[in-house]
């Protein structure tokens, strides 16, 4: 008999509207996905949110913690999480966190502190607007441990392996220079963003490149950048990137209805050849 997968719903960032929340959980109910909600619709303090998240990840009752929405606020939890984990060093994080956008902060924090992988994927409020293929892909990753195989377009040819580091570009850059930004390994750098001005994206990207150092970056994968032309973006910044690494773009990941899932902190293979890019990850969840 297969193990029952237990999911907790939590909102570490902005508070969802009740209507958006209900639409999202209706999708879970439609697919007969059981869950327990810990969503607080009041303006809880960062310390209270951090304590609840700490409880969820240390009591070892849940396999996944699915973020309800992004927005802003996840970074406020980190100092309190540090204090809670410092007091109980024996507890190690167990569940996998699901989410993207502002949730990038927590994915990176948990990977840096515990080497814990997280699923960069749509949140509960995004589910009603996802394409059928993207939703099925996410559910297969969670429930069937499906490997990840994404296709994009090629910008610079090459083949490389590394740990997938990334998520929302501006959010990821906000961790540069802090103790919570990983620097220890070789990475496939992945970014996505939306509704940001070009100069802000360029500044954030350069901040990440300078923080990591060129010797740490083995490949670059770019998801959706909203209205930003990824090729133009790469041409502007190409002189700051290593010359002999694979670079791919137009991967279907980000603030779009056809957003597919990736595993942050997972070993990743990126191959770019003949104008095509492929990204592969072996799913080791559960």
CA geometry: angle 77, 80, 81, nearest 5 deg: 80
The domain 7-129 belongs to what CATH superfamily? Murein tetrapeptidase LD-carboxypeptidase, N-terminal domain (3.40.50.10740)
pLDDT, tens digit only, all 286 positions of the chain: 356 899 999 999 999 999 999 999 999 999 999 999 999 898 899 999 999 999 999 988 999 999 999 999 999 999 999 999 887 656 666 899 999 999 999 999 999 999 999 999 999 999 999 999 999 999 999 999 999 999 999 999 999 999 999 999 999 999 999 999 999 999 999 999 999 999 999 999 999 999 999 999 999 999 999 999 999 999 999 999 988 999 999 999 999 999 999 999 999 999 999 999 999 999 876 5
Buried-exposed string 207-244: b where 16+ CB fall within 10 A, e elsewhere: bbbebbeeebbbbbbbbbbeebebeebbeeeeeebbee
The boundaries of every CATH 3.50.30.60 domain in the chain are 148-281
Contact 97, 10 (CB under 8 A): no
Token pair recorded at residue 162: 């590394």
Query: What are φ and ψ of residue 278, in 5° steps?
Result: -130, 140
Is domain 148-281 classified as CATH 2.30.42.10?
A: no
For 127, other C-beta atoms within 10 Å of its C-beta total 20
Q: Where in the chain is the domain with CATH 3.40.50.10740?
A: 7-129
Q: pLDDT tens across 42-54, in order?
A: 889 999 999 999 9
User: What pTM value is reported for the model?
Assistant: 0.96
DSSP 181: S
Q: Name the token pair of 87.
A: 């007091």
Cβ 95 vs Cβ 63: under 8 Å: yes
Read off the pLDDT of residues 154-182 as tens digits, 9 standing for 90 and up.
999 999 999 999 999 999 999 999 999 99
């Amino acid at each position: 008999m297969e193990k029952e997968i237990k999911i907790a719903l939590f909102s570490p960032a902005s508070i969802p509207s009740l209507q958006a929340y209900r639409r999202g959980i209706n999708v879970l109910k439609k697919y007969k996905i059981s869950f327990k909600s810990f969503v607080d619709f009041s303006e809880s303090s960062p310390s209270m949110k951090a304590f609840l998240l700490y409880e969820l990840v240390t009591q070892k009752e849940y396999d996944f913690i699915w973020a309800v929405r992004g927005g802003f606020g996840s970074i406020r939890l980190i100092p309190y999480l540090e204090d809670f984990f410092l007091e109980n060093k024996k507890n190690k994080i167990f569940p996998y966190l699901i989410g993207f956008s502002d949730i990038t902060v927590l994915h990176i924090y948990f990977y840096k502190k515990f080497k814990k992988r997280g699923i960069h994927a749509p949140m509960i409020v995004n589910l009603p607007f996802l394409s059928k293929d993207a939703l099925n892909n996410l559910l297969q990753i969670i429930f069937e441990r499906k490997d990840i195989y994404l296709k994009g377009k090629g910008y610079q040819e090459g083949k490389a392996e590394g740990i997938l580091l990334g998520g929302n570009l501006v959010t990821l850059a906000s961790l540069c220079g802090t103790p919570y930004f990983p620097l220890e390994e070789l990475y496939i750098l992945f970014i996505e963003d939306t509704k940001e001005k070009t100069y802000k994206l360029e500044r954030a990207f350069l901040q990440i490149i300078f923080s990591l150092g060129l010797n740490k970056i083995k490949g670059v994968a770019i998801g959706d950048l909203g209205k930003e032309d990824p090729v133009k973006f790469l041409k502007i910044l190409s002189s700051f990137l290593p010359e002999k690494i694979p670079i791919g773009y137009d991967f279907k990941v980000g603030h779009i209805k056809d957003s597919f899932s990736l595993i942050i902190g997972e070993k990743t293979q990126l191959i770019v050849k003949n104008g095509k890019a492929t990204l592969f990850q072996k799913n080791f969840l559960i």
